[in-house]
Amino acid sequence: MALTGLQIQKLLPATNCKECGSNTCLAFAMKLAAKKAELSLCPYASEEAKRTLGAASEPPVRCVELGPGRQLKVGGELVLYRHEKTFVHETALAVNLNDTDPPEVIDSTLKQVSDYLLERVGEMLRIDMVAITQKGPDPQAFTSLASKAWRVAQRPLVLRSADPVALAAAAKAVQGSRSVLCAPTPETVPALMAVARENDHALAVTAPTLDGLVALSANLKEQGFADIFLRFNCLSPAERFQTNSLARRAALKDHFKPLGYPSLHFVETGDPADDMLEAINEITKYGGICVLPRFDAAQMSSLMTLRLNLYTDPQKPIQVEPKVYPIGEPGPDSPIFVTTNFSLTYFIVSGEIENSGVSAWLVVPECEGMSVLTAWAAGKFSGASIAKFIREIGLEKQVTRRQLVIPGYVAQISGELEECLPGWKVLVGPQEAADLESFVKSRLK
Does position 10 interact with ligand SF4 (CB under 6 A)? The reply is no
Burial of 236 (0-12, 13-18, 19+ CB in 10 A): exposed
Kindly indicate which of the ranges 7-15, 80-88, 267-275, 312-320 contains the residues binding ligand SF4, using the contact rule CB under 6 A.
7-15
d(CA 163, CA 87): 36
| Residue from the set 3, 11, 12, 353 that interacts with ligand SF4 by CB under 6 A | 12
CB of 57 to ligand SF4, least distance (A): 13
CB of 191 to ligand SF4, least distance (A): 44
Q: How is residue 410 annotated by DSSP?
A: G
Kindly indicate which of the ranges 15-23, 169-177, 273-281, 426-434 contains the residues binding ligand SF4, using the contact rule CB under 6 A.
15-23
DSSP string across 5-72: HHHHHTTS------TTSSSSHHHHHHHHHTTSS-GGG-TT--HHHHHHHHHHHS-SS-EEEESGGG-E
Q: Looking only at residues 21 through 80 of this chain, which bind ligand SF4 when binding is defined by CB under 6 A? A: 22, 25, 28, 42, 44
Angle between helix 164-173 and 189-199 (nearest 10)? 10
CA 284 from centre of chain = 12
Assess contact for 299 and 276: CB atoms under 8 A.
yes
- Residue 11 or 399: the one with the smaller Cβ distance to ligand SF4 is 11
- Residue 53 or 131: the one with the smaller Cβ distance to ligand SF4 is 53
CA dihedral over 27, 29, 33, 38, signed as positive or negative: positive
- Residue 46 or 412: the one with the smaller Cβ distance to ligand SF4 is 46
- Residue 27 or 226: the one with the smaller Cβ distance to ligand SF4 is 27
- Residue 40 or 400: the one with the smaller Cβ distance to ligand SF4 is 40
d(CA 88, CA 315): 12
Q: Which residue from 248, 255, 312 is spatially nearest to 285, judged by alpha carbons?
A: 248
CB of 38 to ligand SF4, least distance (A): 11
Residue 138: CB atoms within 10 Å: 12
CA 212 from centre of chain = 31
CB of 170 to ligand SF4, least distance (A): 46
Assess contact for 324 and 398: CB atoms under 8 A.
yes
| Residue from the set 5, 7, 16, 233 that interacts with ligand SF4 by CB under 6 A | 16
Kindly indicate which of the ranges 20-28, 59-67, 130-138, 293-301 contains the residues binding ligand SF4, using the contact rule CB under 6 A.
20-28
- Residue 6 or 246: the one with the smaller Cβ distance to ligand SF4 is 6
Phi-psi map region of 429: left, alpha, beta (phi>0 left; psi -120 to 50 alpha)? beta
Kindly indicate which of the ranges 17-25, 101-109, 262-270, 363-371 contains the residues binding ligand SF4, using the contact rule CB under 6 A.
17-25
| Residue from the set 4, 15, 46, 154 that interacts with ligand SF4 by CB under 6 A | 15
CB of 77 to ligand SF4, least distance (A): 26
d(CA 314, CA 346): 17
CB of 42 to ligand SF4, least distance (A): 3
CA 17 from centre of chain = 37
- Residue 5 or 408: the one with the smaller Cβ distance to ligand SF4 is 5
- Residue 12 or 167: the one with the smaller Cβ distance to ligand SF4 is 12
d(CA 185, CA 98): 21
d(CA 33, CA 7): 9
CB of 138 to ligand SF4, least distance (A): 58
d(CA 380, CA 368): 8
CB of 32 to ligand SF4, least distance (A): 9
Q: Looking only at residues 327 through 366 of this chain, which bind ligand SF4 when binding is defined by CB under 6 A? A: none
- Residue 15 or 400: the one with the smaller Cβ distance to ligand SF4 is 15
CB of 85 to ligand SF4, least distance (A): 23
Assess contact for 142 and 161: CB atoms under 8 A.
yes
Q: What counts of helices (H) and strands (E) characterise the chain?
A: 17, 17
Kindly indicate which of the ranges 19-27, 47-55, 336-344, 380-388 contains the residues binding ligand SF4, using the contact rule CB under 6 A.
19-27
CB of 15 to ligand SF4, least distance (A): 5
| Size of residue set near ligand SF4 by CB under 6 A | 13
Assess contact for 293 and 273: CB atoms under 8 A.
no
| Residue from the set 2, 4, 10, 18 that interacts with ligand SF4 by CB under 6 A | 18
CB of 37 to ligand SF4, least distance (A): 9
Query: How many residues are there in the chain?
Result: 445
Footprint on this chain of ligand SF4 (rule: CB under 6 A): 12-13, 15-20, 22, 25, 28, 42, 44
